Amino acid sequence: MSSRPNLQFAHMGIYVKDMAKMFDFYTRVLGFQVSDDGVVRGGTRLVFLTLDANEHHQIVLADGRPDDVAFNVINQISFRTGSLDDLRAMKESLEDEGVQEFRQVSHGNAWSIYFADPEDNRIEIFVDSPWYIDQPAGEPIDLAESNEAIIAATKSHVQTQPGYGSLADWRSEMAKTLEDAAS
């Protein structure tokens, strides 16, 4: 049996109804920069967006999403940030932009905020915690609390959950699993 190639997730595309509104949200509000913008055969406009100079694009906005689609097939689009302070600042920035509905949650292995983009795609912004617990998991948090209070409450909770351990140990175990699967 031949081994599989080393695949790495790089980007995703989203069909959009209102290109101008979505472009504004992803560039002005979330900070993405345009790396390319053009039209493919057939007339579909593609706007390539990135937050990383090593990635030509991380998100592609493609016009043509039908208005009458009854179900949004995107479960969520997630972005990692560096700290609880960054997460809190992002939430405050989104509130300044008029975003009103947030879900604030600790997954044990991460602290997250969830909200909708202008076309109701669920967005998650998260920061890793130092722990791991079996997923799915979610406990409400309040980013108005201090970092110390959030960390202490999360630590107290995760220590009682199945699979509890350090995120570093989980990553090491997963790296071995992936290495074994590739050979």
Same domain, 57 and 106: no
- pTM value surpassing 0.75: yes
pLDDT of res. 1: 42
**Token output for 142:** 């309040």
In total, the chain counts a number of residues equal to 183
Same domain, 61 and 139: no
pLDDT of res. 6: 64
Same domain, 86 and 169: yes
pLDDT of res. 179: 83
Same domain, 86 and 136: yes
CATH of the domain at 157: 3.10.180
Residue ranges making up the domain that contains 156: 74-183
Burial level of 153, CB count in 10 A (0-12/13-18/19+)?
Answer: middle
**DSSP conformation letters of 25-43:** IIIIIT--EEEEEEE-TTS
CATH of the domain at 44: 3.10.180.10
Any domain includes 130: yes
Cross-strand bridge partners of residue 61: 14, 47
Give CA separation, 174 vs 3, 44, 132, 168, 180, in Å: 18, 39, 12, 10, 10
pLDDT of res. 10: 79
Which of 59, 41, 42 shows the shortest CA–CA distance to 50? 59
Beta strands at 131-132 and 165-166: parallel, antiparallel or unpaired:
antiparallel
Any domain includes 125: yes
Question: Phi and psi of 6, rounded to 5°?
Answer: -80, 105
Burial level of 157, CB count in 10 A (0-12/13-18/19+)?
Answer: middle
Among candidate residues 66, 94, 110, the one where a domain is terminated: 66
Walk along the chain (183 residues) and give the pLDDT tens digit of each residue.
445 556 577 789 999 999 999 999 999 999 999 999 999 988 999 999 999 988 999 999 999 888 888 777 888 999 999 999 999 999 999 999 999 999 999 999 999 999 999 999 999 999 999 999 999 999 999 999 999 999 999 999 999 999 999 999 999 999 998 888 777
